[in-house]
């Protein structure tokens, strides 16, 4: 970074509009809504066996993002987010990985969530030490890409860890930072609500982003 670039950022504060937007949202109550039965080793084995089907992703504007999401991605890039600190392996979009992930989750866990099995998109995300997902909100762009004909009126976004909490593994939803969570603890992330995650620990972080129709 050049001094002039830093001076520009400090003078213009391009993050202020984003901060204003997220601070205007009501605080969300963040507590586990369920706990699922998870065999950590099975899920890690999956990431090795299906490595070639993983998307290798990092922070950048994307074609399925909304204009607002791309605006936020561009801001994050300007502030230093890039391939070297936001990299992840992301399973669920390519090949038959979503079907396999649903089978691994199992009928009993899906029933615990009250989810329509045919509507589910699961994304298994592996984040390495020194990497994280910048503050953002979800708009179900990947889901609509995978299921373009789906009725999204009852769509929900859930998050859970495939391993017990480890040092340096953090997840923030709204104004609550999650630590000491248990594997399989499920948290609701309403669409449009700010959240982020980071691995500043010493081992990979394995989590699931779960999108599907929930029958209340």
Question: What are 25-73's pLDDT values in tens digits?
Answer: 888 889 999 999 999 999 999 999 999 999 999 988 887 777 877 888 8
What is the distance between the alpha carbons of residues 18 and 12, in angstroms, rounded to a whole number?
A: 13
Q: Which domain holds residue 188?
A: 37-213
Whether residue 10 lies inside any domain: the answer is no
**How far is C-alpha 134 from the chain's CA centre?**
10
Count of domains for the chain: 1
CB-based contacts of 144, cutoff 8 Å, min separation 6:
64, 150, 152
Dihedral sign, Cα of residue 28, residue 32, residue 34, residue 35? positive
Q: What is the mean pLDDT of residues 146-169?
A: 89
CATH of the domain at 51: 2.60.120.10
What six digits make up the tokens of 22? Answer: 């997220």
Q: pTM of the full predicted structure?
A: 0.90
């Amino acid at each position: 970074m050049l001094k002039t670039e830093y001076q520009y950022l400090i003078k213009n504060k391009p993050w202020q509009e984003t901060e204003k937007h997220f601070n205007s949202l009501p605080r969300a109550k963040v507590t586990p809504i369920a706990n699922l039965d998870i065999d950590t080793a099975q899920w890690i084995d999956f990431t090795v066996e299906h490595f070639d089907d993983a998307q290798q992703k990092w922070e950048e504007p994307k074609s399925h993002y909304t204009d607002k999401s791309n605006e936020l991605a561009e801001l994050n890039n300007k502030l230093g987010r890039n391939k070297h600190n936001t990299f992840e392996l992301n399973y669920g979009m390519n090949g038959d990985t979503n079907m396999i992930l649903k089978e691994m989750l199992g009928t009993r866990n899906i029933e615990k969530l009250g989810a329509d099995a045919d509507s589910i998109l699961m994304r298994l995300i592996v984040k390495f030490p020194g990497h994280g997902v910048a503050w953002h909100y979800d708009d179900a762009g990947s889901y609509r890409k995978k299921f373009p004909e789906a009725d999204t009126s009852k769509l929900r976004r859930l998050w859970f860890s495939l391993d017990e909490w480890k040092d340096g593994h953090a997840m923030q939803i709204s104004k609550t930072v999650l630590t000491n969570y248990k594997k399989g603890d499920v948290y609701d992330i309403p669409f449009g609500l700010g959240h982020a995650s980071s691995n500043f620990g010493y081992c990979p972080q394995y989590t699931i982003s779960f999108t599907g129709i929930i029958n209340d």
